[in-house]
Amino acid sequence: MAAAKKRKGGNEEDARASTTDPDARVMKMGDGGFRPALNVQLATTCKEQVIVGMDVVNAGSDMAQLAPMVEQVAQRLGQAPEQWLVDGGFAAHEQIEAAARKTTVYAPVPGSRAQKDAPGKTVQAQVQQDKHKPKPGDSPAVAQWRKRMASDEAAEIYKQRAATAECVNAQARNRGLLRMPVRGLAKIKSVVGLFVLAHNLLRMAVLAPQLIGWGANPSAVGTRAA
């Protein structure tokens, strides 16, 4: 873009026009820095690692993204999955309430900030016990979520997330889904949609190679999918 001239302190210098995507928002990144970005949301199956839902939003927080994704996947598949494993950043109470109508949510229960910051191991141990007890004002869905996440069964179920959803996220980064070649929310959604199609085709080559004419020979599949 062309630069205009302006005067500052009696001197003439360049006034550079911003080239930031107007749809992007400044967000905190994994390296601790802050940069203009968009938030890509992916919903995946645990066992097959197939992407069944996607969205791109310009909100830096995931707090409002759970219920819309559950609804999207339910519409696409004709039903919602029985269990939904999400990162702690998605566990807003109103989202858990909305999602509970369609699925069972598994997400870490955070302790209160006051308790987290308190010194001493005794207090830290107390946090682990107290955070799973229903609190005044909790809806039935939120109270059930707290109690559910205190069980050993829930801990075992939630372990699947690190090896599945985070694996897909890592593959996306490794395949270049970091810096977008286009600008604007609509165009970036299209790029992410193409990535999802490519990812699912690669998963199909492993899970059902006969559907794309590769046969069922494991060695042949391994060669083609590499």
Q: Rounded to 5, what percent of the chain is helix, strand, coil? A: 45, 15, 40
pLDDT at 97 over 90: yes
Task: Give the span between the Cα atoms of 30 and 63, in whole angstroms.
Answer: 18
Mean of per-residue pLDDT scores for the chain: 82
Per DSSP, helices labelled H in 83-217 are: 93-99, 113-117, 121-130, 140-148, 152-174, 185-207
Residue 36 confidence (pLDDT): 87
Record the tokens describing residue 151, joined without a space. 């069980």
Residue 29 confidence (pLDDT): 83
Is 53:42 a contact under the CB 8 Å cutoff?
yes
Residue 201 confidence (pLDDT): 92
Residue 215 confidence (pLDDT): 63
Model pLDDT for residues 124-172, shown as the tens digit of each residue: 544 455 789 999 999 999 999 999 999 999 999 999 998 888 899 999 9
Question: Which residue, chain included where needed, has tokens 């909790």?
Answer: 138
Question: Of residues 29 and 63, which shows the higher confidence score?
Answer: 63
Is 97:141 a contact under the CB 8 Å cutoff?
yes
Distances (CA, A) of 31 to 6, 28, 180: 35, 8, 18
Residue 145 confidence (pLDDT): 96
pLDDT at 174 over 60: yes
Model pLDDT for residues 51-93, shown as the tens digit of each residue: 999 999 998 889 999 999 999 999 999 999 999 999 988 989 9
**HSE-up of 4 (CA within 13 Å, CB side)?**
5
Range 22-46 average pLDDT: 88
Is 158:85 a contact under the CB 8 Å cutoff?
yes
Residue 119 confidence (pLDDT): 54
